[in-house]
Each structure stands twice: as structure tokens, then as C-alpha cells.
Structure 1
């Protein structure tokens, strides 16, 4: 376990950066042109970034960046 001591302004900047990265990842994950192998790597990155974001943001703000569930096709 590592610790990090930052001031309020730095926390706001970190939250902003993480939000922008999450928005970009969610947009790219919904793009059907991207290969499934690439999306798998992006999903791992999403989990890591979202975990960091949850440490900085209010829980109500985190809801916006929760990845939607995949729709299953019934055969």
C-alpha cells in the first residue's frame, strides 16, 4: 500500500484528468470499429482509472462513469 499527500487544488486537477480519461475510454469502448483484443486492454485500463477516480470523486459523481452492461444476444 502506498500513500499520497496532495493539496485540494492537486486533487481537483487529478479528478479532472481522470474524468477526461474515463470519458474517452467509455466513448472508445462503445465504438464497434475497434478490435475486441484492443477493447479488452481498454477495459483493463478503465478498471484501473475508475478505481483511482473513485478515491477522488464523490460517490454521486462516480455513477456517471460506470460502464454500461453488455447486451446479450439470445439464440
Structure 2
């Protein structure tokens, strides 16, 4: 495990970069013109970046990036 220290400005920048990357990957995964294999690779990377973002993002912000299908719905 690696540790890093960031000042407030760097934290905000990292937050911004990760959010933009997550947005871009969500857009790419919804593009059905891309090959399924490529979308799976993007999905795998999305999970990694999402876990990075989850370490410091507030729950309200984090919920915007939870993909459908990650949590099974209860049967009614």
C-alpha cells in the first residue's frame, strides 16, 4: 500500500479529475458502437477508478457514480 499527502487544492483537483474520468467511462460504456471486449475493459478500469474516488468522496456524490447492476434488487 502506498500513502500520499495532498493539500486542499490538490485534493480538489484529484476529485475533479476522477469525476471527469468516471463520467467519460460511463459515456463510453453506454456507446454500443464499441466492441463488447473494449466495453468490458473500460468497465474493469471503471471499478478501479470508482474505488479510488470512494476513498474520499461524500456518499451523496458517490451515489451518482454507482452503476446499475452492482447491487441486486430485492425480489418483491
Normalised by the shorter chain, which TM-score bucket? Answer: 0.7 to 0.9
TM norm structure 1: 0.87
What runs of 5+ residues in structure 1 fail to find an aligned partner?
71-75
The residue aligned with 1:40 is 40
Q: Give unmatched runs, 5+ long, in structure 2.
A: 71-76
* Corresponding residue of 1:66: 66
Distance 1:20 1:61 in 2: 13
2:1 paired with 1:27: no
Which structure would you say has the larger RCO, counting Cα contacts within 8 Å and 6 or more residues apart?
1
Distance 1:16 1:50 in 2: 13
Q: Please state how far the C-alpha of 1:5 moved relative to its aligned partner.
A: 0.6
TM-score after normalising by structure 2 = 0.86
Aligned Cα root-mean-square deviation (Å):
1.3
